[in-house]
Amino acid sequence: MSEIQVRNSRAGWDGPIRSLNISAPGAGKTSLMLSYPSVFVFDFDKTLHLGIPKHIRERADVDFRFVQPDSWQDVWVWTMRLLKGEPVELPDGTKFQPKTIGVDTIGECYYEFISQVSRSMKVQAMMGKDGKPLTVLDTRVQTIKGDDRRAVMTMADFGFSSDRLVEWINALKMFPGHLVVNAHEQLRDAIEGSVKPPKGTVMLPGGLREILPGKFDLYTRLTRSGTNPPQMQTAPDDLWPCKDRTGTLDPMEDADFAKFKKKLYPAGNPWAEF
């Protein structure tokens, strides 16, 4: 163990957490994100207005607000407001002081990535949310096993989208608080007739799978353990290259910030009361 890792493991982590969490849908990523303090959520899944699980809703320490951007321009407008570190005015006129920015999920920025096409599986002109055609370098239409037999697209990088997303993540890291980004794990075993991506990867175009994990202090995978909260893997294994740059967490932790916060920020750490 290096000298800096020893120092971190004894005194805790010196600064906010930037965490990338991946899992299959429904494993608990959103619940983990909402367990962080005062969360401002970019709700690309467009589900938070439908409600949250009862075990989260009944917690006194859960405090979050969300927006559902309709364009990339909207994303940047909200980002610039958040980077000031001041209370932000929400669409309903109320103000909110975030301590955490949440992104749920990064693979659902649908005006940047095409994730679903019609069940006819016929691909015509692919249009972005702004009405302009998207430049798709490589498109293969595949079928996902499931009740609705949804058609999805396996994509090579959209060069401009990759650059734009990386630029956005770099900007979010300047926020003076925590950053929690959720992403789906790659459905590598469910895609038929395509070239499989490497095992243990994030469900994003190839270049982003390589770039994004390196930008975070924690790269975790949530497992469908049947427990509440679910388990969060923080150490690498033969399949998933998870990491804990803080040097404070066990290889498996409960996926609840309130439960592992004391390891990150023990008594006396300046971030313990944040």
Residue 268 pLDDT > 70: yes
Angle at alpha carbon of residue 176, lines to 7 and 15, rounded to 5°:
5
pLDDT at 188: 45
pLDDT at 148: 32
d(CA 202, CA 22): 7
Q: Tens of pLDDT along 52-66?
A: 877 777 888 899 999
pLDDT at 54: 75
Q: Tens of pLDDT along 22-59?
A: 888 788 899 999 999 999 999 988 888 888 877 777 88
**Which one of 1.10.10.10, 3.30.70.340, 3.30.70.20, 3.40.50.300 gives the CATH number of domain 3-109+158-264?**
3.40.50.300
pLDDT band at 105 (very low <50, low <70, confident <90, very high): confident
Q: What percent of the chain has pLDDT over 70?
A: 66
pLDDT at 69: 86
The burial of 215, by beta-carbon neighbours within 10 Å (0-12 exposed, 13-18 middle, 19 or more buried), is given as middle
> Domain boundaries in the chain?
3-109+158-264
Q: Is the dihedral of CA 96, 232, 174, 159 positive or negative?
A: negative
Q: Is 152 left (phi over 0), alpha (psi -120 to 50) or beta?
A: beta
Residue 87 in contact with residue 106, Cβ under 8 Å? Answer: no
d(CA 53, CA 34): 11
Mean local confidence (pLDDT), 113-123: 35
Q: Is the dihedral of CA 220, 145, 108, 209 positive or negative?
A: positive
Higher per-residue pLDDT: 227 or 155? 227
Residue 220 pLDDT > 90: yes
pTM, two decimals, is 0.76
pLDDT at 162: 64
Mean local confidence (pLDDT), 107-112: 52
Out of 203-212, 243-252, 262-271, which region has the weakest mean confidence (pLDDT)?
Answer: 203-212
